[in-house]
Amino acid sequence: MLSIDLTGKRAFVAGVADDGGFGFAIAKALAEAGATVCLGTWPPAYGIFKTMLERGKFDESLVMSGGGKLSFERIYPLDADFDVLADMPADVKESKRYREHGDVSIQGVADLMKRDFGPEPCLDIVVHSLANGPEVKKPLLETSRKGYLAAVGVSAYSYAAMVQRLGPMVRPGGSFLALTYMAGERVVPGYGGGMSSAKAALESDTRTLAYEAGRKWGHRVNVISAGPWASRAASAIGFIETMIEYCKANSPLPEAIVAREVGATAAFLSSSLGSGITGTLIYVDKGYHSMGMAVDRPVL
């Protein structure tokens, strides 16, 4: 009998700050399969997230199918906009929400893991659940250079940076996984600020990183293109419910996705069952990506 078995594996899921997003669903699925899970949380949200965990605000979401309770081995403050501490502007470094954490760069978190788990490779799975576009509500024609580059930097380049800096810390045969959205391939009006460009770059980089990380370390690098989901981050776009209903009405399976479906796919790709899959984009969208015409209205 085939089963997803991640017993003895350690995962790092970057981009979890609540229990409502794909990152949390992936972390839970990996734990359900037997992995121990560390998180990377944006520093301004770090204190609130840990407080809510400690106060039991997420207890219902933490219940595992086997009856246990999801727990996290470590929670690291992480700002993936910075590769090393020296990249961080002084005003950010000394701000109230950052100064207590020290080095929250990608390299800083890598160094903390080496301190916590030893200098030898200590990871098996790395998940990039990070995206931010400060001007996401602006059409591309109105997006500033600064806003565009910020979207690409945090949402796409950070994946390359994580593979670069965490790759040596991942045991041979490791798995890297990121999350994308169909706006990287097709026009989604309202999804602006350079975010569509960032997703396209993320998907292209996945193929190149798969080749380079595969040849260098034997790691696999993939990306999941998930259908629209009303996470707190996605809700900031302003029309996420409309997107969900439209995709639901026009998909081969006329229903909305649920986060656990993305989590289950991530667990499969991270396991030995997905050992032959790399450089690949996997759709988890009820088949919406395959449609060339809307079907929620009469065909003329």
Is 288 considered catalytic here?
A: no
Is 98 considered catalytic here?
A: no
Supply the DSSP string of the chain, one letter for each residue.
------TT-EEEEE--SSSSSHHHHHHHHHHHTT-EEEEEE-HHHHHHHHHHHHTTTTHHHHB-TTS-B---SEEEE--TT-SSGGGS-HHHHTSTTTTTT---SHHHHHHHHHHHH-SS--EEEEEE-----TTTTS-GGG--HHHHHHHHIIIIIHHHHHHHHHGGGEEEEEEEEEEE-GGGTS--TT--TTHHHHHHHHHHHHHHHHHHHHHHH--EEEEEEEPP---HHHHTTS-HHHHHHHHHHHSSS-S---HHHHHHHHHHHHSGGGTT--S-EEEESTTGGG-SS--SS---
Measure the CA–CA gap between 219 and 26, rounded to whole angstroms: 19
| Catalytic, out of 46, 76, 191, 288 | 191
| Catalytic, out of 181, 211, 246, 283 | 181
Cβ of 167: how many Cβ atoms within 10 Å?
A: 21
Catalytic residues: 181, 191
